[in-house]
Amino acid sequence: MLSTSRLNILPLSYSELFRYLTARDQLAWDLDFIPFDYPMECTEERAIRFERLPKIKNNPDKYYYYTIWLIIHKFSKKMIGSICMHGIPDKKGQVEIGYSTGPEFRNQGFMTETLKVFIDWTGKRRDIRAIVAETDVDNCASMKVLEKCGFVITEEVEGKVYWRLPVKKRKQKKLFFPALMISASFSNLIPEIVSSF
C-alpha cells in the first residue's frame, strides 16, 4: 500500500480484484471503503476479466503490474478513483500507466498526489526506468496532472498525446561502520575481533 497525507493507494490481490469485479460492495466492506455508486464501465470490466485476472494468475509475484490500485480517501473512506500499470516493463524498462478519477473528486489535486507517490514507488524498483502515458489531445485535466508530475510530450499523433517520465532512482544511504575492536577479558576463550564493514 502507498500512502499520502490524504490518500491510501491499495493494489488489489487476485482475489480482491475478482471481488472488485463480481462483488464490489462486499470488497468495500472487507477493505473498509465506500465504493462508487455507479456501475463499472464495460471496457474496464472486460479488461479485468479477460486481461488483468489471467495475467495475475500466471504471474502472482508481479501482480502489482497488472492489478488495479484503488485510491481511497483516508478521512471520508470514499473511493476517489484508481491507477494501474498495463503490464511489466518493456525492453527499455518502460511501464505504461492509466488512471481515472470519479467526477465529484476532480480538480482537487487527488490524482496529482497519487501519481507523485506512485512515481516515488517506481524509483525504488530496479526494473522500471521510465513511465509512459497516453492522453486524448482534448483531455486537459489529465494532461495537467502529467505536466505537474514532470512528464514531457514525446509525440502527438491523430488526436493522441504520448508522454514520458524518466524514473529517478533513489540512492540508498550507505551505512559506515568504523573498525570495531572487541577485547575480551577471557582471551583464551574469545579472541580479539577486528571487524570492518
Nearest Cα neighbor of 131 from 58, 65, 62, 67 is 65
pLDDT tens digit sequence for 148-173: 999 999 999 999 999 999 998 766 55
Q: Cα angle vertex 6, ends 47, 24, to 5°?
A: 35
Residue 149 lies in a domain: yes
Residue 97 lies in a domain: yes
Looking at residues 68-78, what average pLDDT do you find? 97
> Structural domain tally of the chain?
1
Per-residue pLDDT band at 181 (split at 50, 70, 90): very low
pLDDT tens digit sequence for 100-147: 999 999 999 999 999 999 999 999 999 999 999 999 999 999 999 999
Cell 525492453 appears where?
A: 91
pLDDT tens digit sequence for 20-37: 999 999 999 999 999 998
Q: Is 184 a residue whose pLDDT tops 50? A: no
Looking at residues 31-51, what average pLDDT do you find? 93
Question: By residue range, what is the domain housing residue 110?
Answer: 2-171
Residue 191 lies in a domain: no
What lies within 8 Å, CB to CB, of 68 at 6+ separation is 11, 12, 17, 20, 48, 52, 82, 84
Per-residue pLDDT band at 39 (split at 50, 70, 90): confident
Q: Is 98 a residue whose pLDDT tops 70? A: yes
**Whole-number mean pLDDT of the chain?**
89
Residue 160, pLDDT score: 97
CATH of the domain at 9: 3.40.630.30
Using CB atoms within 10 Å of the CB of residue 36, give its burial: 0 to 12 exposed, 13 to 18 middle, 19+ buried.
middle
